């Protein structure tokens, strides 16, 4: 039985074990024990809600195995040829058109009829000659207007496209054989790794806690709870790497500190693919006075590309609210009122100002918040990206592993795998704890590995909102 040389003031021992206000030893007064144990809640409080940020790629894409170090695919070029930055040497009835390169001249046949535009004015004409020594063609105008109608002397930033051709009776050896332009793209996988480690002594001290996993299932875990969080964190990083990754295309001789010089070539992520091959929108907000007009500017860019009807918008909170405000403004009834019925907003219900989808022009848009852009420990910390527009389309390609043509989403992931090794999401245990005896270390190491790459096909139909 414990004895004391002196007791704290106000504390009186009792001859029997009974609880009262004057025989309670506060933890601050007597540190060797604590008479009243605290009430402990077994279940964790989910104060940050759903903490994982993964799920975006699973929602909009697919995952397929591959066996090689490189992924190569080709995409169709434009069917029609257009020219920008041309110079028109105006002399009245017969005008010299200087193109950007001789390669452009090689795809224009003599006899082609063209539209030439500059200063918001246009003139139509026929290609009457091509000069062998430079990138110059001669165009004879149609109609009463000659090329002085373009509004300036020798415009240097004119535009032109071919709309047809015209030849005389009995003509021969006409036209031009133009090979289709096929653009080839490639990407390579990267290897992602992480591990969780726990020593043998901590394993021996078992502690249970009730937890709820990110998919909603609940149960009890002991020391391996930390391992489960390490796994969730790694799964998040697998997806974030496919979104944020950068590839180094070549060494930089003027700067030796690049990862490329150390053998780390990276991979092309979603943001980089859209930056280089897609549409980047950095205009004004959508919820201002001209919000709908600004959004229509975006539609005009989509019209120039594949015009894919269904598109998904993954947005941060600010951009999502901007679109809500833009749509709500179109639903106004009277002077600042709200129309009832169109969106089932009856007078007796709470007003719903959130929109999950809408149609504008010939396009359908489905809108959702993207946690990755809002979370304060990921992209929400630094900002810069307000959302992405992903087309809901597929492409038909030949799969060498399956040996057949299959349809794939424009956005999909390839991971390394074959009959003997699957590196989609691989984990293994090393050490001498928990029944594993692979080394003399008194630890248990849980290793995680994935090798994968993202394929962004038809990136010209994707939009990055900045």
Give the model confidence (pLDDT) of 215-225 as tens digits: 566 665 554 56
Please say whether the beta carbons of 384 and 243 come within 8 A: no
Share of the chain above pLDDT 70, in %: 70
Sign of CA dihedral 435, 439, 441, 443: negative
Please say whether the beta carbons of 153 and 113 come within 8 A: no
**CA neighbor of 432 nearest in space, from 167, 151, 82, 198:** 198
Structurally, at CATH architecture level, domain 82-171 sits in Beta Barrel (2.40)
> Could you tell me which residue, 184 or 345, shows the higher pLDDT?
184
Please say whether the beta carbons of 466 and 236 come within 8 A: no
DSSP secondary structure code for residue 30 in this structure: -
Q: Name the phi and psi angles at 323, rounded to 5.
A: -70, -35
pLDDT digits (tens, 9 = 90+) for 397-440: 555 555 666 567 788 889 999 888 999 988 888 888 877 788 88
Whole-number pLDDT of residue 450: 93
pLDDT at residue 343 tops 60 = no
**CA neighbor of 311 nearest in space, from 453, 185, 409, 454:** 409
Estimate to the nearest angstrom the gap between the alpha carbon of 140 and the chain centroid: 48
Q: Name the phi and psi angles at 67, rounded to 5.
A: -120, -10
Greatest Cα pair distance in the chain:
128
How is residue 118 written in tokens?
Answer: 């500059």
Whole-number pLDDT of residue 464: 94
Lowest mean pLDDT across 141-155, 181-195, 330-344: 330-344
Residue 442 CA to residue 200 CA, distance in Å, equals 5
How is residue 239 written in tokens?
Answer: 């997806």
Mean pLDDT of 78-100: 75
Estimate to the nearest angstrom the gap between the alpha carbon of 201 and the chain centroid: 44
How is residue 401 written in tokens?
Answer: 């592993």
Domain definitions of the chain by residue range:
1-39, 54-77+185-466, 82-171
DSSP string covering 41-66: --BPP-TTSS-----HHHHH--EEEE
DSSP secondary structure code for residue 178 in this structure: -
Residue 460 CA to residue 301 CA, distance in Å, equals 10
DSSP secondary structure code for residue 206 in this structure: -
How is residue 319 written in tokens?
Answer: 């951009």
How is residue 384 written in tokens?
Answer: 């810069």
DSSP string covering 119-130: TTEEEEEEEEEE
Looking at the DSSP bridge assignments, the partners of residue 312 are 366, 390
Whole-number pLDDT of residue 307: 81
Residue 208 neighbours by CB under 8 Å, 6+ apart? 42, 220, 221, 222
> Could you tell me which residue, 159 or 60, shows the higher pLDDT?
159
**CA neighbor of 311 nearest in space, from 278, 277, 354:** 278
What count of other Cβ atoms lies within 10 Å of the Cβ of residue 85?
12
pLDDT digits (tens, 9 = 90+) for 189-219: 999 999 888 888 776 665 555 656 555 666 6
Residue 436 CA to residue 301 CA, distance in Å, equals 58
Q: What is the pTM of this model?
A: 0.74
Find where tokens 């110079």 sit: 87
pLDDT at residue 339 tops 60 = no
**DSSP strand pairing (332-333 vs 394-399):** unpaired
- The per-residue pLDDT of the chain, averaged, comes to 77
């Amino acid at each position: 039985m414990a004895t004391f040389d002196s007791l704290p003031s106000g504390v009186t021992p009792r001859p029997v074990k009974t609880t009262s206000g004057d025989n309670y030893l506060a933890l601050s007064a007597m540190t060797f024990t604590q008479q009243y144990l605290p009430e402990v809640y077994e279940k964790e409080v989910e104060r940050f809600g759903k903490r994982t940020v993964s799920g975006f790629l699973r929602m909009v894409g697919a995952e397929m195995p591959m066996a090689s170090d490189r992924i190569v695919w080709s995409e169709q070029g434009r069917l029609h040829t257009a020219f920008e930055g041309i110079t028109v040497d105006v002399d009245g009835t017969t005008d010299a058109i200087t193109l950007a390169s001789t390669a452009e001249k090689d795809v224009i046949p003599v006899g082609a009829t063209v539209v030439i535009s500059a200063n918001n004015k246009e003139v139509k004409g026929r290609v009457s000659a091509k000069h062998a020594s430079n990138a110059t063609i001669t165009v004879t105008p149609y109609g009463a207007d000659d090329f002085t109608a373009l509004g300036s002397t020798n415009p240097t930033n004119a535009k032109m496209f071919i709309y047809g051709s015209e030849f005389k009776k009995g003509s021969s050896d006409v036209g031009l054989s133009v090979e289709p332009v096929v653009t080839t793209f490639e990407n390579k996988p990267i290897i992602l790794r992480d591990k969780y480690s726990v020593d043998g002594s901590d394993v021996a001290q078992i502690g249970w806690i009730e937890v709820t996993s990110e998919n909603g299932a609940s149960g009890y875990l002991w020391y391996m709870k930390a391992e489960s969080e390490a796994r969730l964190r790694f799964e998040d990083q697998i997806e974030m790497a496919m979104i944020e990754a950068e590839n180094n295309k070549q060494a930089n001789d003027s700067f030796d500190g690049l990862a490329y010089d150390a053998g780390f070539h990276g991979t092309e992520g979603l943001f980089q693919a859209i930056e280089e091959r897609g549409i980047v929108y950095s205009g004004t907000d959508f919820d201002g006075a001209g919000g709908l007009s600004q959004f229509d500017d975006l539609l005009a860019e989509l019209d120039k590309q594949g015009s894919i009807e269904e598109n998904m918008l993954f947005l941060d909170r600010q951009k999502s609210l901007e679109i809500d405000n833009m749509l709500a403004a179109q639903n106004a009834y009277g002077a600042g009122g709200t129309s009832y019925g169109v969106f089932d907003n009856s007078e007796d219900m709470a007003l719903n100002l959130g929109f999950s989808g809408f149609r504008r022009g010939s396009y359908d848009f489905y809108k959702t918040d993207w946690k990755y852009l809002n979370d304060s420990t990921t992209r929400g910390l630094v900002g810069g990206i307000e959302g992405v527009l992903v087309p809901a389309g597929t492409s038909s390609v030949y799969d060498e592993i399956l040996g057949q043509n299959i349809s794939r989403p424009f956005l999909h992931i390839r991971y390394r795998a074959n009959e003997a090794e699957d590196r989609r999401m691989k984990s293994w245990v090393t050490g001498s704890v928990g029944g594993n005896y692979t080394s003399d270390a008194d630890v248990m190491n849980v290793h995680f590995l994935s090798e994968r790459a993202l394929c962004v096909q038809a990136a010209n139909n994707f939009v990055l909102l900045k």
